[in-house]
Structure 1
């Protein structure tokens, strides 16, 4: 019996790798002879870099870059030397997790450090880059990244704009001649876990700005500023990407990746499953167990369990989802290839009580699933 264990992380509790190992312990408690394959996954958000490195055996590299507030930090990126491919996670440089709640400042946070990660990859000889766009603390439309890569964003007086999304309201000229020429030969794919456009009610500022510290008044200001970036960019490039699905990802980095790096935007889970050679893993599996912190109707937009279930359905493989909680609309996931879904809690408990027990509960649920599964196969 071959069991494929491919969860996402359980936020604030377990990494995807830790979750997979907890599942494996439960499987082996039920059936010690079972063959398990752990394949940690992610959907482009938190943990995606670790999932890619685990799936591919990529080298873990370090670079000193600026964080979202311009402070130095050691950021990790991945390198597949044989394929000349770099894995760049925006959150490693400009992630919300590196800021305290008091430091969250959507008006002034910058993606400059992401550009520095690109430079490190280019110096290594990268010919392809997979850019992971989840978890940003920024709302600057990728302006900081462009500045790090050599572009000049100027106001009416010819002065370079300061860091942050708010400064884009004063953008008058976008000079791209200074962009690192190696970018022209770099094939970029950007992993997105949302389909939001750049602007408007579903745009980067309105939907994601508040969690990055923006007040309602600042959300409106930032949306106008990103609109200015879109307008000037369209004039410079001859194409307008403001309405592209995914342009609003990571504070507008989806927009910048497509417009200035020529990136292909694709669902993060599809990108990571491709790197993990998921079709081959699914082909040899008798049962697939996946999971994440919450399964609900929003999971259909491209979250890990649904990506796994859709791929498994094409091969007729059963999929069980173990989630920290089952939210409103989770039943819709049953139409996407999910065979069954279970919440982890074994009784009434608060989130604070559940988090320290996540590994224990995940193992217990996995054991129960396997006991039922093996019983059904032998009856």
Structure 2
């Protein structure tokens, strides 16, 4: 009997994209089980790879664009046009213009990084005459509430002297007035749908500054400064636009970009898999397999809050399928994932090493870990055929 395995991973940040991760796992499985039938469904969640995955799934086209990067430098980014759609549809991932990988480690400071380049990508899509824009939020290196994005599209964010705010989330504490009068008028005629983590909110104890700020280089003092700036931002949005965003689902996505998209350019926020799974095939593949292997860079207590392994497991359990997760690291509270459909998880690391060394060797580590899983499957089959006295 042939063993059918679905490989449905996310990418490993700053290392391998989801397709490369799937390839590594497949190689490791086939070292031990050459006759196993492997089906691959590399997944994206709105972060890095979102645009390319949807473009490839629909036979669309990528277009290069030079934009302003998160620390103000010019970088090469891109947007895509989907193929086979009723309405001319662009797809944009914020990570292409303002992702953490574009912020050098030694200068990471989310008080000053900007989403201005995201607005430039949206503008390029508008220049192409699109009727709909899909925006993926994830893997951000910013915490500016989408202020830079909005400024690139003509929104004026003014201080008490009537001057435009500078770049970065730290500037939001100066915000006094929001002026939409010169916002790009084409936005009024385009449907904008945003794939974001529904669990991320802008303010409060679970606000984006406190939850994700440290990952972007923020010290404890900086985290509190960012949180205060975003609270003020939410207050001004309420006063100027009569919209309460503090704890709105998705408002904290990508350092508050969700708030800027919703409040300043009239986008609609969606749970990210509501968008992504319209274009990827995992639901059609699950009935055809016996086992599911997923993966992500870090598995921890946050994984069930909208990350790919938990979503894969949730869908797999509709068919009572066992789920194995491979991770670069196993973080705090990872055991909670057992309650969310993941039956076994393990780190791909087999020896102590520096983060940069692990990133450089991810493909080998991942392949070897998948080989180990395949060997465990063989052991499990042998055990199943044995009788144990005392059991």
Normalised TM-score (structure 1): 0.88
Does residue 151 (structure 1) correspond to residue 155 (structure 2)? The answer is yes
SS in 2 for 1:338: coil
Aligned mate of 1:5, from 7, 16, 34: 7
Give the corresponding residue for 2:135.
131
How many angstroms does 1:55 deviate by?
A: 4.1
Give the corresponding residue for 2:32.
30
Distance 1:55 1:217, change over 3 A: same
Distance 1:160 1:77, change over 3 A: same
How many angstroms does 1:133 deviate by?
A: 1.8
Give the corresponding residue for 2:72.
70
Give the corresponding residue for 1:79.
81
Aligned mate of 1:268, from 262, 265, 272: 272
How many angstroms does 1:57 deviate by?
A: 4.0
Give the corresponding residue for 1:376.
381
1:85 and 1:230 mapped to 2: Cα distance? Answer: 30
Normalised TM-score (structure 2): 0.86
Aligned mate of 1:318, from 322, 335, 338: 322
Give the corresponding residue for 1:349.
352
Residues 44-93 of structure 1, C-alpha deviations (whole Å, 9 max, x = no match):
33443444444444322211111123222110222204322222111211
Distance 1:371 1:194, change over 3 A: same
Give the corresponding residue for 2:389.
none
Distance 1:351 1:42, change over 3 A: farther
Does residue 238 (structure 1) correspond to residue 272 (structure 2)? The answer is no
Does structure 1 conserve the Cα–Cα contact (< 8 Å) formed by 2:59 and 2:83?
Answer: no
How many angstroms does 1:368 deviate by?
A: 4.3
How many angstroms does 1:207 deviate by?
A: 3.1
SS in 1 for 2:201: coil
Does structure 2 conserve the Cα–Cα contact (< 8 Å) formed by 1:270 and 1:307?
Answer: no
Does structure 2 conserve the Cα–Cα contact (< 8 Å) formed by 1:155 and 1:173?
Answer: yes
Distance 1:165 1:283, change over 3 A: same
2:316 and 2:372 mapped to 1: Cα distance? Answer: 21
SS in 2 for 1:274: coil
Aligned mate of 1:206, from 186, 210, 218: 210
Distance 1:360 1:159, change over 3 A: closer
How many angstroms does 1:301 deviate by?
A: 1.0
How many angstroms does 1:148 deviate by?
A: 1.0
How many angstroms does 1:371 deviate by?
A: 5.2
How many angstroms does 1:319 deviate by?
A: 1.9
SS in 2 for 1:301: coil
Residues 194-223 of structure 1, C-alpha deviations (whole Å, 9 max, x = no match):
623222333233333344444444444433
Q: Give 4+ residue runs of structure 1 displaced > 6 Å after superposition.
A: none
Aligned mate of 2:108, from 95, 104, 110: 104
**What is the count of residue pairs matched by the alignment?**
378
Distance 1:24 1:212, change over 3 A: closer
Distance 1:216 1:327, change over 3 A: closer
Give the corresponding residue for 1:329.
333
How many angstroms does 1:19 deviate by?
A: 1.1
1:80 and 1:8 mapped to 2: Cα distance? Answer: 21
**What are structure 2's unaligned runs of at least 5 residues?**
386-391
Residues 275-300 of structure 1, C-alpha deviations (whole Å, 9 max, x = no match):
20321122223322111223223211
2:274 and 2:370 mapped to 1: Cα distance? Answer: 25
Give the corresponding residue for 2:189.
185
1:12 and 1:159 mapped to 2: Cα distance? Answer: 37
1:328 and 1:158 mapped to 2: Cα distance? Answer: 46
